Amino acid sequence: MQEFNRPPIELNPFTVTPTGWTLLALYLVWFSWSIFRPASAEEAIVYERQANAAAEQEAAAGLFLREAAGEVTKTILLLHSVLWTHGSSISVSQEGATRTASGLVYKELLPGSGEAPGMEDTVVVHYTGKFVDGSVFDSS
């Protein structure tokens, strides 16, 4: 005979009554339906608007981002080439030239003035990247 005053799940010792299994099954059905149910008409409209907006943004920014990524990659590869193929032959004997720990040699032509920039500030830098033979590979 079923005890109606007994809890559906007991922890010590762990037992689950038929009422507990029924409650668990109902919860799993509800949970599965909340995840896998078809979208309502309103949700479908919202999803379509979001997809259209994302496609428009991707189309507008896609070409710019691809070009920018290509330029950054090209600059990094050129800098890497300079550092590793010519790094040992670059002279720091020039007045004002400094070699970093990575092997990059740079020369500050015009020192900045004012306060040091913070994390939220925008900085404008003008530079010219040259190979050891003096040919320019990048400039701002």
Strand-pair partners of 14: 11
- Helical H runs in 1-140? 18-36, 41-85
Q: What is the pLDDT of residue 63?
A: 65
Distance CA 93, CA 106 (A): 11
Q: Phi, psi at residue 106, to the nearest 5°? A: -135, 160
Query: 54 to each of 44, 59, 113, 127, how far by Cα in Å?
Result: 15, 9, 43, 36
Q: Which of 69, 68, 103, 106 is nearest to 83 (CA)?
A: 103
The structural domains of the chain, with segments of one domain joined by +, span: 1-37, 40-86
Q: What is the pLDDT of residue 31?
A: 94
Q: Peptide bond preceding 13: is omega within 30 degrees of 0, i.e. cis?
A: yes
Distance CA 52, CA 54 (A): 5
pLDDT per residue as tens digits for the range 39-85: 888 988 998 999 999 888 877 776 666 666 666 555 655 555 555 44
Q: Phi, psi at residue 99, to the nearest 5°? A: -105, 130
Give this prediction's pTM.
Answer: 0.31
